[in-house]
């Protein structure tokens, strides 16, 4: 977990698409077309590449094309050929995420990275996963309801994040995925909800003042305020 906090030297942000049991609802269309609101924040997407290299330039193009179709994303080109100083930050990312030092080009956002793709469709699929906030929950759970209510109020400020609700009682895949996430972090819990975002697990939801503020702080850390939303 320590490495995840090291990477918070960079800033990022997120898009709200309501979903139930992993299925995106029709509200996504309304959210994507919503007007800017005061305080709205963009998820920053860094693209580490070498300008002039056709393969690298193609990655930057993909990132920009994807951002053009998904509101709330800000692509930041990081040309390591023009600015060797950027390699220091790149190495921190590669080390923290246990990626090979040859992982360039690389797309980085929300403490997650994309460095291997099959084609444009695969790139889009990985970008969709990169910007997800998943909530693992179960029915009749007041803490899960509290967390969802907080997210419904907070996430409209982050039109770059996709909210996915996963019911671990009715969805066996969701339960298995949560167990895998906990195992990889050498932890266990019977507590729900569990929020998975920015490569971190936030377990439980006590109150708006405690858990809610913790979620808000994490989201702000990976984002910046959309200039046109400042009023």
DSSP letters for 59-77: HHHHHHHHHHHSTTEEEEE
- Which residues, 6 or more positions from 109, have their beta carbon under 8 angstroms from its beta carbon? 12, 43, 44, 45, 46, 130, 131, 222
Q: What architecture is the 132-224 domain classified under in CATH? A: 3-Layer(aba) Sandwich (3.40)
Helix or strand run (H / E) with residue 4: helix 2-6
CB 158 within 8 A of CB 43: yes
What's the rounded Cα separation, in Å, for the pair 51 and 68?
21
Domain boundaries, the chain: 2-11+35-130, 132-224
Q: Do domains 2-11+35-130 and 132-224 have the same CATH topology?
A: yes
Tokens 């930050």 belong to 89
Query: Can you give the pLDDT of all 231 residues of the chain as single tens digits?
Result: 444 444 444 433 333 333 334 433 333 333 444 457 888 999 999 999 999 999 999 999 999 999 999 999 999 999 999 999 999 999 999 999 999 999 999 999 999 999 999 999 999 999 999 999 999 999 999 999 999 999 999 999 999 999 999 999 999 999 999 999 999 999 999 999 999 999 999 999 988 778 999 999 999 999 999 887 655
Distance of CA 179 to the CA centre of its chain: 20
CATH of segment(s) 2-11+35-130: 3.40.30.10
């Amino acid at each position: 977990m320590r490495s995840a906090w090291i990477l918070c030297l960079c800033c990022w942000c997120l898009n709200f698409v309501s979903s139930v049991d992993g299925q995106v609802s029709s509200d996504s269309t309304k959210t994507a077309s919503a007007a800017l609101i005061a305080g709205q924040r963009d998820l920053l997407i860094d693209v580490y590449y070498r300008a002039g290299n056709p393969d690298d330039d193609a990655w930057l193009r993909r990132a920009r094309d994807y951002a053009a179709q998904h509101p709330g994303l800000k692509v930041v080109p990081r040309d390591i050929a023009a600015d060797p100083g950027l390699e220091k930050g790149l190495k921190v990312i590669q080390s923290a995420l246990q990626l090979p030092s040859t992982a360039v080009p690389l797309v980085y956002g929300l403490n997650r990275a994309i460095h291997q793709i099959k084609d444009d469709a695969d790139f889009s699929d990985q970008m969709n996963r990169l910007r997800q906030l998943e909530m693992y929950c179960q029915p009749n759970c007041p803490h899960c309801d509290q967390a969802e209510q907080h997210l419904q109020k907070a996430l409209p400020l982050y039109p770059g994040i996709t909210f996915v609700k996963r019911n671990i009682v009715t969805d066996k895949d969701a339960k298995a995925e949560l167990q895998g996430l906990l195992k990889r972090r050498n932890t266990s819990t019977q507590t729900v909800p569990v929020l998975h975002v920015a490569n971190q697990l936030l377990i439980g939801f006590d109150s708006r003042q405690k858990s809610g503020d913790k979620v808000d702080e994490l989201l702000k850390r990976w984002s910046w305020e959309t200039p046109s939303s400042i009023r």
